Amino acid sequence: MTIKLYWHRGAGRSDPNRQNFGDFLSPLIVEAVSKKKVEYAPLSHADMMAIGTILANEPKAKRFGFKRRVHIWGSGCGQEHESFSSRHYYHAVRGQETRARVEDGNALEAALGDPGLLCPGLISRPDKKWHVGFVPHYLDQQLPEAQMFIQGNPEVKFINVFQSPLDVLRDIASCEFVVSSSLHGLIVADAFGVPNIRARLSHGLIDELKFTDYYSAFGILPPELLEAGQLSSVWGKLEELHQAHSRPGLEALQLGLERSFPAIN
């Protein structure tokens, strides 16, 4: 059997060099956990939604006559005003913010966590090669602050989110510390136990709620972050950040995600 999975493709739909690794991680994780083949399907024909801030696409699709009931496994919200139909099968959601936005309390029993936390199962863990990895969101890659941080620090490994997902995983896992404005850069670092800090570089362009949602699955508030002009300050904080880094209940979230995977026949 093949699982028909919906995920956000963006410009990567037609250009393989613009496939954002966090979105295209979804079919790899679903295939690894289910041990079934996975193919892309639009919401009108999908069995399942997984990784991504994609639940808001469901109400949009419904306005065009979309009536299918979909298995939700780890998807998340992006905006405060959003609410999501109770008619779907909620096996897991990314965090407490998403859970609270599902109508009729239909996700109260759903597991919590982003399925990207299961990514260590996709690769062999590499040796450490880099002091600091920098994973800018694709909207941030050409910002002057990002370019200065990359070019002015030979110990920084620039990790391009448009690489293949497996290459991004290997790069992140090979770093001793990660600075990322990409949510899935942070999630992958957490999954591999790599201490990390968020950089907020593009104000107003990247949803804030998805970060709060992700961290709520651990029962914590969003940790300290770096603003655009503070990137270089990370060098004076590395030891402190290493010691302070904590993701309580990580293994329990990973186990809950595995156990909550839907039986799709």
pLDDT digits (tens, 9 = 90+) for 154-182: 999 999 999 999 999 999 999 999 999 99
pLDDT at 64: 44
- Chain mean position to CA 145: 23
Q: How far apart are CA 194 and CA 71, in angstroms?
A: 31
pTM here is: 0.96
Residue 103 has pLDDT above 50, yes or no: yes
Long-range CB pairs of 29-32, under 8 A, 24+ apart, other chains included? 29/115, 29/116, 29/118, 29/119, 29/122, 30/3, 30/5, 30/73, 30/115, 31/3, 32/118, 32/121, 32/122
- Position 139 in a domain: yes
> Is the same domain home to 66 and 155?
no
- Chain mean position to CA 113: 10
Residue 66 has pLDDT above 70, yes or no: no
- Position 265 in a domain: no
| Total count of domains within the chain | 2
> Is the same domain home to 128 and 245?
yes
> Is the same domain home to 94 and 170?
no
Domain containing 17: what range? 2-119+253-260
> Is the same domain home to 150 and 200?
yes
Mean pLDDT score of the chain, rounded to an integer?
Answer: 94
- Position 97 in a domain: yes
Q: How far apart are CA 242 and CA 232, in angstroms?
A: 16
Q: Are 12 and 19 in contact (CB under 8 A)?
A: yes
Residue 200 has pLDDT above 70, yes or no: yes
> Is the same domain home to 23 and 98?
yes
Residue 188's pLDDT band, with cuts at 50, 70 and 90, is very high
Residue 60's pLDDT band, with cuts at 50, 70 and 90, is low
